[in-house]
Amino acid sequence: MAVTKLPNAGAIARLFLLSTAALILAGAIATPHFAIEEATVEQIQQAFAQNQLTSKQLVNFYFDQIRSLNPLLRGVLEVNPDALRQAEQADRERAAGGLLTDLHGIPVLLKDGIGTRDALNTTCGSYALLGSVVARDAGVVERLRRAGAVILGKASQSEWYNVRSFSIPGGWCARSGQAVNPYVEGGNPCGSSSGSAVSVAANMVAVSLGTETDGSILCPADRNSVVGIKPTVGLTSRAGVIPISPRQDTIGTVSDAVYVLEAIVGYDPRDHEATKEAAGFVPCGGYKQFLKRDGLRGKRIGVVRSPFLDSVNDSTVLTAFELHLEVFRRGGATVVDHLEIAEINVILDPFKSGEVPVLMAEFKVGINQYLEELVESPVRSLADIIAFNINNPVLVIR
């Protein structure tokens, strides 16, 4: 089953999107014209407007999906006990009329490192932070709530964004175990926004937020065949999000990217330096104006094959790759193939490029400050976390 229903949002990337195995439609919601799985935000809003669907039904549909699929996939770490109440409120607001945002009544899953001041825990996948209490919602969560989105729950992630150890598999955390790629059970779901991507791909939620420091949105979006946007650092506020590296951290989205991006961009006094500068680049009138059916026409797209494809020897992957270039060409783009970039191996090596040394140095400073600002927490410093990991082997390896 190919997804073809999307003429606009993230159009290019969505052409590559293949659906998961056909999932069973929730009988209560099924109508001849509207299928929830793989539905876009735009289609869901249409169904709301035409009284084919309520936010409450949608949340219940996702809860059913989570109950049946999550024991295997482990993309969802916690379900929000307030989600149904939020959905009912969204339904009441819609019934009352008025101008609503594109994300109004839409269920959103948040990567576990994104702080929420509610029943949900914020733990980066680690037991060390279970029981910690954040002072307030992260800046991006405040914006989502203001937009009327329903916070469905927290997504699993690579524990501590993979900073705890480079050898921990992508998508693994102590609290939920190994997340599973819904397309290929033994396949790598990639991290660290693994649960955010897995959950959208398996129709356990409409849209999700992830975070990226170095590949943490792009890679899971790629591996789980969903659209991901890594915004420029500062376009979205990092305030209230468990940090790694202030120079590099950013909060983005792994599906229906344009609606979520519009809701979460902008200045935040709690992330002053970075968001002040970037706020000047948020386009007047938002991002939807740039979704164009013929957006590929006249574009030049460079393709750097080496070293990315050097080690790929799988005809399925190689055929799919060529097919995607063909989609660009058919859309009117000029594909400039076999580009070479000088020193690419140095640029791509995060140790040689300086990326990892900066990240490691900034992590200590950033995480200590985050932990100090928590209202309550079993750990208050990086040293406490390391001690927790040493003293609780059973809670660290699962």
Tell me whether residue 104 or residue 175 sits nearer to ligand NAG (CB atom): 175
Q: Tokens for 396?
A: 């660290």
Shortest distance, CB of residue 212 to ligand NAG, whole angstroms?
25
Is the Cβ–Cβ distance between 124 and 102 less than 8 Å? no
- How far apart CA 285 and CA 283 sit, in angstroms, is 6
Pairing, β 76-79 against β 150-155? antiparallel
DSSP state of 397: -
- Annotated catalytic residue within 216, 225, 237, 245: 216
Q: Is 158 a catalytic residue?
A: no
Phi, psi of 178 (to 5 degrees): -85, 120
Q: Is 230 a catalytic residue?
A: no
> Token match 């929830």: residue?
36
Q: What is the DSSP string of 15-79?
A: TT-BPPSPPPPPTTT-BTTB--TT--HHHHHHHHHTTS--HHHHHHHHHHHHHHHHHHH--EEEE
SS3 209: strand
Q: Is 154 a catalytic residue?
A: no
Tell me whether residue 119 or residue 386 sits nearer to ligand NAG (CB atom): 119
Tell me whether residue 136 or residue 288 sits nearer to ligand NAG (CB atom): 136
Binding site for ligand NAG (CB under 6 A): 78, 81, 119-121, 130, 313
Shortest distance, CB of residue 93 to ligand NAG, whole angstroms?
24
- How far apart CA 146 and CA 118 sit, in angstroms, is 15
Name the residue among 153, 149, 155, 154 with its Cα closest to residue 263: 149
Shortest distance, CB of residue 152 to ligand NAG, whole angstroms?
11
Tell me whether residue 36 or residue 152 sits nearer to ligand NAG (CB atom): 152
Amino acid at position 167, single letter = S
- Triad 89, 199, 133: Cα angle to 5°: 60
- Triad 201, 215, 299: Cα angle to 5°: 80
- Annotated catalytic residue within 126, 192, 196, 237: 192
Shortest distance, CB of residue 59 to ligand NAG, whole angstroms?
15
Tell me whether residue 78 or residue 142 sits nearer to ligand NAG (CB atom): 78
Tell me whether residue 51 or residue 311 sits nearer to ligand NAG (CB atom): 311
Angle of the 55-73 helix axis to the 83-95 helix axis, nearest 10: 150
For residues 116-139, one letter each, b for 16 or more C-beta atoms within 10 angstroms of the residue's C-beta and e for the rest, the string is bbbebbbbbbbbbbeebebeebbb
The radius of gyration of the chain's CA atoms, rounded to the nearest angstrom, is: 21
Tell me whether residue 135 or residue 365 sits nearer to ligand NAG (CB atom): 135
- How far apart CA 207 and CA 201 sit, in angstroms, is 10
DSSP bridge partners of 210 = 252
Tell me whether residue 12 or residue 374 sits nearer to ligand NAG (CB atom): 374
Shortest distance, CB of residue 77 to ligand NAG, whole angstroms?
8
Shortest distance, CB of residue 78 to ligand NAG, whole angstroms?
4
Shortest distance, CB of residue 130 to ligand NAG, whole angstroms?
5
Shortest distance, CB of residue 123 to ligand NAG, whole angstroms?
8
- Annotated catalytic residue within 56, 111, 154, 230: 111
- Catalogue the active-site residues: 111, 192, 216
